[in-house]
Structure 1
Amino acid sequence: MTDDRVQSFLIGDVEVLRIVEWQGPYVPAADLLPDAGPDVWEAHEAQLVPDHREADGDRAVVALQTWVLRTGGRTVLVDTGVGNGRERPGNPLFHRRQGDFLGRLERAGVRPQDVDVVINTHLHADHVGWNTRDADGEWVPSFPRARYLLPAADDHHFGPAGDYAGGARPVDRLVYEDSVAPVHRAGQADLWQDTYRIDEHLVLEAAPGHTPGSCVLRVESGGERAVFVGDLLHSPVQILRPECSSCFCLDPKEAARTRQRVLERAAEERALVVPAHFGGAGAVQVRAARHGFSLHRWAV
């Protein structure tokens, strides 16, 4: 899905659009999920290839994407991808990237001025990039009318109050300064913690582990449910084996506990699970299984 085709579906009265910034093989599967051995990937090869693992190699396939929700006359974005022109040394895919993401949004009927709410499920580089755009050498909010909902715990951890995540990764300072701080300066940032209700259909809930402020977005409308889980899941392997956290999780054990809890509720409620980075259909229903969970039905 690297062209202008837009996946769409309904959750009750809430319309969902999927805008893909990039999709393809990313990092070796063993690096992405250090606790999932080759036998796990091979045992589930039929479910993973080619949408989640390349057919003739060992790299995991992922997508960089934004989910657009139209609800009650408002337009909501869930995560904003990598962005253009960012200094991201050490990551060739993200570094000084140039793409047509805003054009894709507009061709899907979403102009920047139409966006009412931007949700960052956490503040990693590939979830906040299009928060801002370059305007004559200055980073400004890409969506001039939007309120940006930022997890307070992540804003503290990755921002100056937390010494940009303790200075362990220089890229965290770059990400915050070009993609988060400009939103604060524009007066468009709303920090929240624990839970935050957006409207009658949408509510944010803390889901820590991947980062201190990682969250999920729960959607309920017309008797249907979905949960947008951000980076709780990078691969379907983590549904089949929820104890396997990604190499990007700051607290892998807490991430695993949170993932188990969120998937248990999704299975019980028959909720559609919508991760940030799944290729293929991008979203799936899950069911409880003897070990972990099973992939029940993919979104169309």
Structure 2
Amino acid sequence: MSEAVAGTDAFRRWTVGDIRITRILELPPMAFDPADFLQTTREEVLRRRAWLVPDYATEAGDIILHFQAFIIEAGGKRIMVDPCIGNGKPRVPAALDMLDTPFLQRLESAGFPRESIDFVLCTHLHVDHCGWNTMLVDGRWVPTFPNARYFFARGEFEHARVDGSDPNARAIFEDSVQPIVDAGLADLIEPDHPIVEGVRLEATPGHTPGHCSVVISSGGQQAILTGDVIHHPIQTSMPDVSSNFCWDGEIGRATRRAMLERVAAARAIMIPPHFAGPTGVYLTPDGEAWRVEEA
């Protein structure tokens, strides 16, 4: 079950056995025309308004998204997952360009000063999942989490290094990945690399070639930090709907459906990085697909 923290929706926590997961919002909830992100329409959203509005969609059929990171506390370690967009970075679209947010202050208020992070995991290397890897100090991009080891899936790293399909790709690699390598803090790993007991990566390709999700198991309970296998709850109802930013939509669809089936069967908590409202959800059968309920 989730709990709000410190009287603000910026923080929310879930407990899975002996492991705790905390979400930190970087930006306030944002509404978008669904077609900007997904291969669907406002009409499809409104057909499901009974369970999407108000947490996940507006009365007009726009989808609501979060941009957020997660801290896993397990085995005496603190693991940062998907450190968002970052401040002062030139990015496309304009809503993500040259941000100036209190993300680090929020992180500290939640009890996680940046020096206390032991590991950083990026499910993939898109603009909104690795930006706070670094911060600007005296005109240089330096590691934000100076005492952490940064784990990059080897296949994802190699793809991002040469990716020409994403307008942000070169800037992301130069300001959010290469400085970590230069500082000697990067580890290139395979998806089955152990993190700590109860926390492991799993290859979930499609959105990007080397995309990984984070599987958490403790005390007979399970949670999955999905990364961008899924962006919005409407995709639980329409699993074949992909995002507009997938490297391979067919692979992504197969990966998403397999994950949804597994999450539903295990009654696991699914925690996607862009789900608004309570973020963490259980899946409830709805015909041949699913809808969500707060975990």
TM-score calculated relative to the size of structure 1:
0.92
- Paired residue type of 1:80: P
Are the equivalent residues in 2 in contact too, given 1:13–1:221 (CA < 8 A)?
Answer: yes
Rounded to whole Å, the distance in 1 between the matches of 2:192 and 2:286 is: 29
Matching of residues 58-77 of structure 1 within 5 Å = 58-77=61-80
CA apart distance, 1:60: 1.6
Matching of residues 13-24 of structure 1 within 5 Å = 13-24=18-29
Are the equivalent residues in 2 in contact too, given 1:23–1:61 (CA < 8 A)?
Answer: no
Equivalent in 227, 231, 238 of residue 230 of structure 1: 227
Are the equivalent residues in 2 in contact too, given 1:153–1:213 (CA < 8 A)?
Answer: yes
Are the equivalent residues in 2 in contact too, given 1:241–1:291 (CA < 8 A)?
Answer: no
Rounded to whole Å, the distance in 2 between the matches of 1:192 and 1:103 is: 30
CA apart distance, 1:27: 2.8
2:151 corresponds in structure 1 to: 149
Equivalent in 225, 244, 247 of residue 247 of structure 1: 244
1:229-276 deviation per Cα after TM superposition (whole angstroms, max 9, x unaligned): 011111101111111111111111111100011111111111100101
- Paired residue type of 2:132: W
Rounded to whole Å, the distance in 2 between the matches of 1:197 and 1:288 is: 33
Matching of residues 39-54 of structure 1 within 5 Å = 39-54=43-58
Equivalent in 191, 194, 197 of residue 191 of structure 2: 194
2:36 corresponds in structure 1 to: 31
- Paired residue type of 2:52: L
1:259 corresponds in structure 2 to: 256
Gaps of 5+ in 1: none
1:79 corresponds in structure 2 to: 82
Cα distance change on mapping 1:4 and 1:280 into 2, 3 Å: closer
1:129 corresponds in structure 2 to: 131
2:270 corresponds in structure 1 to: 273
Gaps of 5+ in 2: none
1:112 corresponds in structure 2 to: 114
Are the equivalent residues in 2 in contact too, given 1:218–1:228 (CA < 8 A)?
Answer: yes
1:139 corresponds in structure 2 to: 141
- Paired residue type of 2:49: E
Rounded to whole Å, the distance in 1 between the matches of 2:282 and 2:203 is: 21
Segment drifting more, 194-203 vs 241-250: 194-203
CA apart distance, 1:3: 5.3
State the identity as a percent.
37
- Paired residue type of 1:156: E
TM-score calculated relative to the size of structure 2:
0.93
CA apart distance, 1:187: 1.1
- Paired residue type of 2:290: F
Are the equivalent residues in 1 in contact too, given 2:233–2:291 (CA < 8 A)?
Answer: no
Rounded to whole Å, the distance in 2 between the matches of 1:5 and 1:246 is: 25
Cα distance change on mapping 1:265 and 1:169 into 2, 3 Å: closer
Whether 1:9 and 2:6 are equivalent positions in the alignment is: no
CA apart distance, 1:31: 2.9
SS for the counterpart of 1:208 is coil
- Paired residue type of 2:20: E
Are the equivalent residues in 2 in contact too, given 1:82–1:127 (CA < 8 A)?
Answer: yes
- Paired residue type of 2:275: F
Are the equivalent residues in 2 in contact too, given 1:25–1:54 (CA < 8 A)?
Answer: no
CA apart distance, 1:92: 1.3
Rounded to whole Å, the distance in 1 between the matches of 2:244 and 2:165 is: 15
Cα distance change on mapping 1:289 and 1:3 into 2, 3 Å: closer
CA apart distance, 1:50: 2.2
1:99-133 deviation per Cα after TM superposition (whole angstroms, max 9, x unaligned): 11011001111011100011100000100010000
CA apart distance, 1:47: 1.4
CA apart distance, 1:184: 0.7
Cα distance change on mapping 1:83 and 1:3 into 2, 3 Å: farther
Rounded to whole Å, the distance in 1 between the matches of 2:203 and 2:268 is: 18
Rounded to whole Å, the distance in 2 between the matches of 1:23 and 1:233 is: 20
Whether 1:298 and 2:294 are equivalent positions in the alignment is: yes
- Paired residue type of 2:24: I
Segment drifting more, 114-123 vs 183-192: 183-192
SS for the counterpart of 2:129 is helix
